[in-house]
Amino acid sequence: MPASAQPRMFRHRDDSAQLTLADVRRDIVGIDTPVPLLDGTRRPYVFLDNAASTPAFGRVLRCVQDFLPWYSGVHRGTGFKSVLATEVFDAAHDVVGRFVGADLSRNAVIFTKNTTECVNKLANRAGLRPDDIVITTLMEHHSNDLPWRKHCTVIHVGVLEDGHLDLGQLRSALSHYRGRVRLVAVTGASNITGLCSPIHDIAEWTHAAGARLFVDAAQLAPHRPVTMMPDDDPRHIDFLALSAHKMYAPFGTGALVGPKQFFEQGEPDMVGGGVVDIVTLDHAHWNHPPHKEEAGTPNVLGGVAFAAAIGVLEAVGMETVARHETELLRYAYGKLRRMPGIVLYGPTEQLDDKVGTITFNVEGKHNSLVAAILGVEGGIGVRNGCFCAHPYVKQLLKVTPEEDTALTGEVLAGNKSRMPGMVRASLGCYSNEDDVDALVSMLERVIRGDIRGTYVQDRSTGAYHAAGYDPDFLEYFQYHVPDIHGDRRPSEAS
Ligand SMILES: Cc1ncc(COP(=O)(O)O)c(C=O)c1O
* Contact in structure between 242 and 115 (CB atoms under 8 Å): yes
Name the percent of the chain lying above pLDDT 90.
Answer: 92
What is the overall mean pLDDT for the chain? 94
The reply to whether ligand 1 has any atom less than 6 angstroms from the CB of 187 is yes
Q: Is 357 in the pocket of ligand 1 (CB under 6 A)?
A: no
- Residue nearest atom 7 in ligand 1 by C-alpha distance: 115
Q: How much is the average pLDDT of 157-183? A: 97
Q: Return the biggest CA–CA distance within the chain.
A: 73
Q: How buried is 364 (Cβ within 10 angstroms: 0-12 exposed, 13-18 middle, 19+ buried)? A: exposed
* Most ligand 1 atoms within 8 A of CB, residue of 111, 219, 224, 426 to mutate: 219
pLDDT above 70 for 17: no
Is the CB of 243 inside a 6 Å radius of any atom of ligand 1? yes
Instruction: Choose the residue to mutate in 138, 142, 246 for probing ligand 1, maximizing ligand atoms within 8 Å of C-beta.
Output: 246
* pLDDT category of residue 483 using cuts at 50, 70 and 90: confident
CA 336 to ligand 1 center in whole angstroms: 26
User: Average of pLDDT values for 424-442?
Assistant: 98
- Which residue out of 306, 388, 427 has the highest number of ligand 1 atoms within 8 Å of its CB and is therefore the one to mutate? 388
Residue 492 has pLDDT above 60, yes or no: no
Task: Assess whether pLDDT exceeds 80 at residue 493.
Answer: no
Pocket probe for ligand 1: among 115, 219, 390, the residue whose CB has the most ligand atoms within 8 Å is 115
Count of beta carbons in the 10 Å neighbourhood of residue 64 = 19
CA distance 322 to 399: 33
Cβ(144)–Cβ(194) below 8 Å: no
Amino acid present at 356 = G
pLDDT digits (tens, 9 = 90+) for 380-389: 999 999 899 9
Position 351 scores a pLDDT of 96
Answer yes or no: 388 catalytic.
Answer: yes
pLDDT at residue 491 greater than cutoff 70:
no
The alpha carbon of 193 and the centre of ligand 1 are apart by a number of angstroms equal to: 14
In this predicted structure, the answer to whether residue 80 has a pLDDT above a threshold of 70 is yes
Q: How far apart are CA 121 and CA 82, in angstroms?
A: 28
Q: Is the CB of residue 292 below 6 angstroms from any atom belonging to ligand 1?
A: no
Give the C-alpha separation, 111 to 109, whole Å.
Answer: 7
pLDDT, mean of residues 426-453: 97
Quick check: CB of 376 below 6 Å from ligand 1? Answer: no
- Poorest-pLDDT segment among 11-20, 265-274, 337-346: 11-20
Predicted local confidence at residue 76, as pLDDT: 86
Distance 218 CA to ligand 1 centre (A): 5
Q: pLDDT tens for residues 350-380?
A: 999 999 999 999 999 999 999 999 999 999 9
Contacts of 8 (CB under 8 A, 6+ apart): 87, 91
Residue 12 has pLDDT above 80, yes or no: no
Given the residues 63, 152, 196, 388, the one annotated as active site: 388
CATH of 63-314, one of 3.40.50.620, 3.40.50.80, 3.40.190.10, 3.40.640.10: 3.40.640.10
Q: Give start and end residues of each alpha helix (H) in 68-208.
A: 80-99, 115-125, 146-149, 167-176, 199-208
Whether residue 47 is predicted with pLDDT greater than 70 in this model: the reply is yes
Tell whether ligand 1 has an atom less than 6 A from the beta carbon of residue 141: yes
What does the pLDDT read at residue 77? 87
Cβ–ligand 1 contact at 139 (below 6 Å): no
* Residue owning the nearest CA to atom 14 of ligand 1: 52
Residue nearest to atom 13 of ligand 1 (CA): 52
Say yes or no: CB of residue 103 within 6 Å of ligand 1.
no
pLDDT band at 489 (very low <50, low <70, confident <90, very high): low
Mean of the pLDDT values across residues 424-445? Answer: 98
* CA of 490 relative to ligand 1 center, distance in Å: 32
Q: Give 175 Cα–ligand 1 centroid separation in angstroms.
A: 29
242 close to ligand 1 (CB < 6 Angstrom): no
Question: 0.85 cut: is pTM over it?
Answer: yes
- Tens-place pLDDT, residues 287-342: 999 999 999 999 999 999 999 999 999 999 999 999 999 999 999 999 999 999 99
Q: Residue 249 C-alpha to ligand 1 middle, in angstroms? A: 15
d(CA 141, ligand 1 centre) in Å: 6
Provide the pLDDT for residue 180. Answer: 95
Our answer on whether the CB atom of 293 is closer than 6 Å to any ligand 1 atom is: no
Indicate if the pLDDT at residue 39 is higher than 90. yes
Taking the CA atoms of 177, 183, 188 and 194 in sequence, report the sign of the dihedral they define: negative
Where residue 4 falls among pLDDT bands split at 50, 70, 90? very low
> 317-468 in CATH: which number?
3.90.1150.10
Q: Give the tens place of pLDDT for each residue, 230-247.
A: 999 999 999 999 999 999
Q: How many Å lie between the centroid of ligand 1 and the Cα of residue 116?
A: 6
Whether the predicted pLDDT of 1 surpasses 50:
no
Separation between Cα atoms, residue 333 and residue 136, nearest integer Å: 30
Q: In the chain, what are the domain boundaries?
A: 63-314, 317-468
Q: Is 326 in the pocket of ligand 1 (CB under 6 A)?
A: no
Residue 410 burial by Cβ neighbours in a 10 Å radius (0-12, 13-18, 19+): middle
